[in-house]
Amino acid sequence: EAQVTQNPRYLITVTGKKLTVTCSQNMNHEYMSWYRQDPGLGLRQIYYSMNVEVTDKGDVPEGYKVSRKEKRNFPLILESPSPNQTSLYFCASSLAGIYNEQFFGPGTRLTVL
């Protein structure tokens, strides 16, 4: 089944404890992206990647890192999480070409205490 998977789905952590949220897709998509969803603010893009080893900042990259060493994986790294990073995070992927629709993962709900 074609899908985007994220792990973990739920995470409660404490300020400053490094964490990684994994994202993997099995559709051979070139483009992958991370978003966060906060009440009243809509989906905001954190980082995106156009292909392996090619990443770029979205609208809200502060406090996050990403890497794209393999085509199928695009992990989101929070080196020192803070409470303002408490949010619902979505990973998405699509074929190359800006006209292609994105396929979203199931979401990761992160709480930073």
Partner 1 sequence: ILNVEQSPQSLHVQEGDSTNFTCSFPSSNFYALHWYRWETAKSPEALFVMTLNGDEKKKGRISATLNTKEGYSYLYIKGSQPEDSATYLCAFRASGAGSYQLTFGKGTKLSVIP
- Give the footprint of partner 1 on this chain (CB under 8 A): 31, 33, 35, 40-45, 48, 50, 56, 58-59, 90, 98-107
- For residue 104, the minimal CB distance to partner 1 (Å) is 4
Nearer to partner 1, 13 or 104 (CB): 104
Nearer to partner 1, 27 or 113 (CB): 27
Region label for 30, one of left (φ > 0), alpha (ψ between -120 and 50) or beta (otherwise): alpha
List the Cα angle 14/79/13 in 5-degree steps: 20
- For residue 112, the minimal CB distance to partner 1 (Å) is 22
- For residue 97, the minimal CB distance to partner 1 (Å) is 10
Nearer to partner 1, 15 or 59 (CB): 59
- For residue 18, the minimal CB distance to partner 1 (Å) is 26
Strands, DSSP E only, in the chain? 4-7, 10-13, 19-25, 31-38, 42-51, 54-57, 65-66, 76-78, 87-94, 103-104, 108-112
